[in-house]
Amino acid sequence: MYQLTARYPKKRAFITGAASGLGRALCEQLALDRWHIGMCDIDRKGLEQTAQMVEGHGGSAYVYDLNVSDPAQYAQVAEDFLQQAGGIDLLVNNAGVSGHVGKMETAPVADWQWIVGINQMGVVYGCHYFVPAMKNQQSGYILNIASAAGFVNPPNMAGYNVTKAAVIALSESLFTELKPFGVQVSVSMTTFFRTNIMQHSRGNPEMVKRGQKMVQGSNIEAATMAKQLLNACGQNRFYLLFSFQSRLLFQIKRLSPAFFRWLVGKVTREKKLG
């Protein structure tokens, strides 16, 4: 049993991007502890598969078609879930896309609007619509899924970097803001693990292919990452830095920013990413 399960006996979770990857893996782990899970995505078929898996493991599934970049749609879904579940104990803002891969100036404005809408505003909307319920309950947990890219900021990923840095900043703000109300916050800043994050990538085809290879070449499965994140939340850890590479880079940047920028430049030049 996860520590979060013992802490929140009503076991009510809402997870975005639940049709595949990390979202589905988190649903599976919570289902094993018989959580009641609101799950949303734009992939209805994938959602239904996740729901079947959740119910097969003993959990309860509430399925919602939701584009997280649509605030009106999100407001309605959040209201429906809160009414059906009677509240919320765990919010996981997980939905995300990799966006435009390539030089910043080559990304159309529409691509910027698209990735900001999903990766950044989708997290803002989730917090906006669920935080009031958590504050009224005087309890709850928010897990925001950012990325190591939000502090490493490698080249040719400006849109992704910007949105993930925004999620880190939002999480840091909420950590202090919500603590007096008994609401905990964590932010995940992981390096690559195997998901389909690159499936909707736009931009330079060669760079997209290289990025897909890096993601699929990771030796970390989504299920492994889900277990690590849930265990870390149970310990009330704020920065969730997995794997070791993420922790190392975070410390190097904190202790020596100039050396860190030199290191990122050197590595990306050697990999021909710059």
Location of structure tokens 């076991």: 11
With CA atoms as reference, report the closest residue to 91 among 192, 20, 168, 23. 23
Query: Beta strand 183-188 with 140-145: parallel, antiparallel or unpaired?
Result: parallel
Positions marked active-site: 160
Structure letter (DSSP) for residue 86: S
Long-range contacts made by residues 131-137, C-beta under 8 angstroms, separation at least 24? 131/174, 131/178, 131/183, 133/82, 133/87, 133/88, 134/88, 134/91, 134/178, 134/181, 134/183, 135/178, 135/181, 135/183, 137/87, 137/88, 137/182
36's tokens:
């009641």
Half-sphere exposure of 136 (CA within 13 A, CB side): 9
Distance CA 35, CA 62 (A): 11
Q: Is 72 helix (H, G, I), strand (E, B) or coil?
A: helix
Direct distance between the N- and C-terminal alpha carbons of the chain, in angstroms, rounded to an integer? 45
